[in-house]
Amino acid sequence: DIVMTQTPLSSLVTLGQPASISCRSSHSLVHSDGNTYLSWLQQRPGQPPRLLIYKISNRFSGVPDRFSGSGAGTDFTLKISRVEAEDVGVYYCTQATQFPHTFGQGTRLEIK
């Protein structure tokens, strides 16, 4: 199974400041079809997860442009350019390159 490791597990950020979350996979996420099926999810308190980014760097419909994704192979990053109050929650990276699909442990984002 592909293990997804996120750092940090918790982040305390001042409003308006940037935030960054790293995700590392135990194996390359490049599929034989050439795509890298790495997504980022946001889970606000008491809510189901919500898709933010797919295939490393593509923002899902309705996601603010302060969210961006980057990376390749086994190392990926989610960045929030200027954190807003509504960004509080837990962020997960997830891979769908192979079964079983796996998730990172989650990174809790809080506001200072």
Q: How far is the CB of 75 from other proteins (least distance, A)?
A: 19
Q: How far is the CB of 106 from other proteins (least distance, A)?
A: 5
Residue closer to other proteins by CB (options 54, 67) is 54
Ranges assigned E (strand) in 3-80? 4-7, 10-13, 19-25, 38-43, 50-54, 58-59, 67-72, 75-80
Cα-to-chain-centroid distance, residue 57? 10
Residues that bind other proteins (CB under 8 A): 35, 37, 39, 41, 43, 48-51, 54-55, 58, 60, 90, 92, 94, 96-97, 99-106
